[in-house]
Structure 1
Amino acid sequence: MVNLKRQIQQAATKHEELIRILAETDHAAPSLNKQKTLIANLEIDIAASDARVAAEEVRRLTELKDHEQYRDSIVRRLAYRATGKREAFEAQAHKEETEYFETLQREHREKETNKALKARLAAAQLAAQALEIQVAHHNEIQQELDQLFEAIFGGRTPGFPEEDERERLLELAVEAHKKASGRVEDESTAVRLLSDAQEHFRSSKIAMKEALSASNRHFFFNGVIADMIEHSALFRAQMEAMSARNLVLDAQFRSSLVETLPDVVISQDSAVKGNPFSSWVTDTVFQEEIKASAARVEQASAVLDGFMIEAAARLVAVKADFARRERELRDAWCALHKARETAFESLARRPLNASGKEI
């Protein structure tokens, strides 16, 4: 106990300095968050302003062209004068000139607004950079204070059962947070793998449609090419279904709650038909087998869709649990820090004499 008090009194000056710096920089993190929000809003405003500036520039050039046509067109002026419509010409010319200068003013105002927004953005970015330095410094000081406390209070601390209990609760919170993080990682990976499996089943279903289409053409043309297309499509469908099944197995490895996918067996033609020995009956039987295979692919795909819905729901749940564990971890850290701060200050106020006993 005496050694603990001596350690605390020796660290008292350092502790006061660290606490002072933390108090001075406490504002930095919330201020930085506000500054980042301001920067994001300014960037949105600037993008909109850039678009308006571009639109006003196009409008100004159009108005300038109309204005110059009336201002510089001697032929048009003479034509109006010859028909006794000089006043109409002057009125139209004045109208074009007015519209041009109004457009010019709007463009100027928008450019000035744009310039002001960009100046505000530059200032906000500079302020954010300064705050980032303060936040980094604050975090370093906080880490230094944590290390100071850990050196003094780490492990069992005689005379401070509350600090020991807070330390135990923090260890439990750290372990729970770690497990929750692992569950989020596993369920996220499972969702990604199942999503990839769905893509393979979509490709398998497309290939089955191609095979069935080729089989129908074979009835009418009895062609070797149709048979080859059918055979290739069936092979691709089987490969895609196998890839989907393997991905589901990988997902099961990450999450034991992912169920087993039904086997998908796609009938494969043993030989290319379209030869003199091929019969209509044989072709009809095999086409029915293709339809049955397509139905099995559809069934397995529907089962997989159900797996995906369940996995997505689990991911939402484990993310919510992870967020709760994060809050509990922060609370446990704060509680331990407060207990250590209280213990530190209570012992720091008790002076020791030269022999190491309390005065």
Structure 2
Amino acid sequence: MIFPPSYGESLLIPRFRSRPDETPIDTVEISFTEAAMADIRARILEAADAHISLISRMSDLEHAPFTLDQQSKYLQDLKRTLATLKTELDTLRKVTSKERKDHQDLRDSFARRYAHKLTGRSEKFVSKIEKEEREYLDAVHNQRSAEEKERYLEDTIAETENRVAELTIQTNDYVNLKEQSEHLYKKVFNGPTPEFPEEDQMEIAVQHAKDFFAEAQSRCDKDQEAEKLMFRAEKSVAKAVKFCDEALSASSWDVWGGGTVADMIERDNLSKAKSTVSQAQMLLGQATGLQDAIGPFDNVKIAGGHTTDIFLDNPVSDFEFHKKVKETYVQMRLLHQKVQLELQTQRGRALDSKNNMEDAKSQLAAARAELDKVRREVFERVTGIPCSAGTPPAYDAMDSPPPLDPEEPILVS
């Protein structure tokens, strides 16, 4: 930890004599550095047994978090595979049912067999029966093969779920031990450790990594939220473009004699466009507040007229208003293109921010791991007792069950 420059400086503390005729005041130099070193060693020796116990138990469970993550992903893959297989199996059962019916109908058709016999075509009839029988047997084989795979997947899923449950308990235990270890380290290494400067240096490095990660996390959250706002704004502007397009169509109709109905459709769509783009502008403002690199965006002036224009209709006013509606449509299209471009750019920023956050997270984890390593080494140097239990044993459970038999593909006729 950071300590003041004067922490290790010596102070002169007077030792007074009771008799004035004795030698003058003597001085005893007491070093704060020596006191701090003695204090840290005392704390380390006091916590040595608890530290060894924690490290040993953590070593036994160190595999759990990683293995839990792998097994959880594997379980999800198994469940997706099973869901797909069940859909295919439904189809196979329908095929088998159909082939069974066709085969039985042909085999049991006495009248058709007798007719073939009378016409001398019994061999062709037998060949047809054999063909139906082969198709039926193939369907049965495919169905049974799929059912075996289904049973295999269900059994494997059950085993994996049990394994995940066990690993979850182990991971929770590991996290709890990790918290106890961090609490012990904070208690032992509270304050500067001048005898072990590498511990102070790594504490500073961890604090810097924490600050960097917090900043990266904040930037990532803001960029992702800005991306969501931009996505919603793009949808709103797209709707406004559609309303403007419909208003433009009604305006064109009005120019050619659409009358009052065209006027009302025109102004209704312009009103909807105004409301929708207003919502979009609010969303864009919020996004810009989170990420100032977004924008700027031009304001769209929605064409508007007095209600009396509907009743005082004439070709000249219709044509003039048509030009305003067309200009509104063009502006709205330009705004939509700008928002689409900014949305794609913001998606890139959000992705970069996420990657930076993940890098910062990894750096923080590495710094914390290095600090733990340094502190373990300090414990070893002071106590003379090795703290490392070596590489944790490999997880002896089935990490990756065998895949489905590739020689027996699922066939759907």
TM over 0.5: yes
Q: How has the CA–CA distance of structure 1 residues 292 and 98 changed in structure 2, closer, same or farther, with 3 Å as cutoff?
A: closer
Partners of 1:227 and 1:272 within 8 A in 2: no
- 1:97-246 to 2 correspondences below 5 Å: 97-246=133-282
C-alpha distance in 2 between matches for 1:53 and 1:173: 53
Q: Does 1:5 align with 2:41?
A: yes
**Among 356, 367, 372, which residue is 1:337 paired with?**
372
- Alignment counterpart, residue 35 of structure 1, candidates 67, 71, 74: 71
Unaligned runs of 5+ in 1: 351-359
Distance 2:261 2:131 in 1: 73
Which structure has greater helix proportion?
1
Note the C-alpha offset of 1:349: 2.8
The yes-or-no answer on 1:324 pairing with 2:359 is yes
Alignment match, 1:357: none
Identical amino acids, percent of aligned pairs: 25
| CA shift for structure 1 position 149 | 0.6
Deviation at 1:260, TM superposition (A): 2.7
Secondary structure (helix, strand or coil) at the match of 2:256 reads: helix
| 3-state SS, counterpart of residue 221 of structure 1 | coil
1:63-95 per-residue CA deviation (whole Å, 9 max, x = no partner) reads 211221133222223222332334443443344
The 3 A distance-change label for structure 1 pair 193 and 37 is: closer
Aligned equivalents of 1:247 and 1:264: distance in 2? 15
Pick aligned residue for 1:65 from 91, 94, 101: 101
**For the structure 1 residues 263 and 88, does the alpha-carbon distance in structure 2 shift closer, same or farther, using more than 3 Å as the test?**
closer
Which has the larger displacement, 317-326 or 185-194?
Answer: 317-326
Contact 2:255 2:322 in 1 (8 A): no
Deviation at 1:167, TM superposition (A): 0.9
1:126-185 CA distance string (max 9 Å, x none): 112212211221111111111111111133234222111211121111111111111111
Provide the rounded CA distance (Å) in 2 between the counterparts of 1:86 and 1:306.
74
Q: Mean Cα displacement is larger for which, 327-336 or 79-88?
A: 79-88
Q: Secondary structure at the match of 2:309?
A: coil
Residues 316 and 94 of structure 1, relative CA distance in 2, 3 Å threshold: closer
Are the equivalent residues in 2 in contact too, given 1:234–1:268 (CA < 8 A)? yes
Secondary structure of the 1:155 match is coil
Whether the aligned pair in 2 keeps the contact of 1:222 and 1:274 (CA below 8 Å) is: no
Contact 2:259–2:313, Cα closer than 8 Å, also in 1 = no
In structure 2, the CA distance between the partners of 1:109 and 1:207, relative to structure 1 (3 Å rule), is closer
Gaps (5+ residues) in structure 2?
Answer: 1-36, 386-413
Residue correspondences, number: 349
Contact 1:208/1:290 (8 A) holds in 2 = yes
Amino acid in the other structure paired with 2:315: W
Q: Distance in 2 between matches of 1:187 and 1:101?
A: 59
Structure 1-normalised TM-score?
0.89
Contact 1:267 1:290 survives alignment (8 Å): yes
Selected match of 2:340 from 297, 305, 310? 305
> Does the alignment pair 1:294 with 2:301?
no
Residues 101 and 245 (structure 1), Cα distance of their counterparts in 2 relative to 1, 3 Å cut = closer
Q: Which amino acid is the alignment partner of residue 52 of structure 2?
A: E
After TM superposition, the score normalised by the length of structure 2 is 0.78
Tell me how far 1:348 sits from its aligned partner: 2.0
CA shift digits 1:221-270 (9 cap, x unpaired): 35222111111111121222222222111112212222332121112011
Q: Is the 8 A contact 1:252 1:258 kept in 2?
A: yes
Tell me which of 265, 286, 303 is aligned to 1:267: 303
- The one-letter code matched in structure 2 to 1:244 is A
Contact persistence 2:264–2:310 (CA under 8 A): no
Relative distance call for 1:302 and 1:98 in structure 2 (3 A) is closer
Of 51-60 and 93-102, the range deviating more from structure 2: 93-102
- Taking only aligned residues, the RMSD between alpha carbons, in angstroms, comes to 2.1
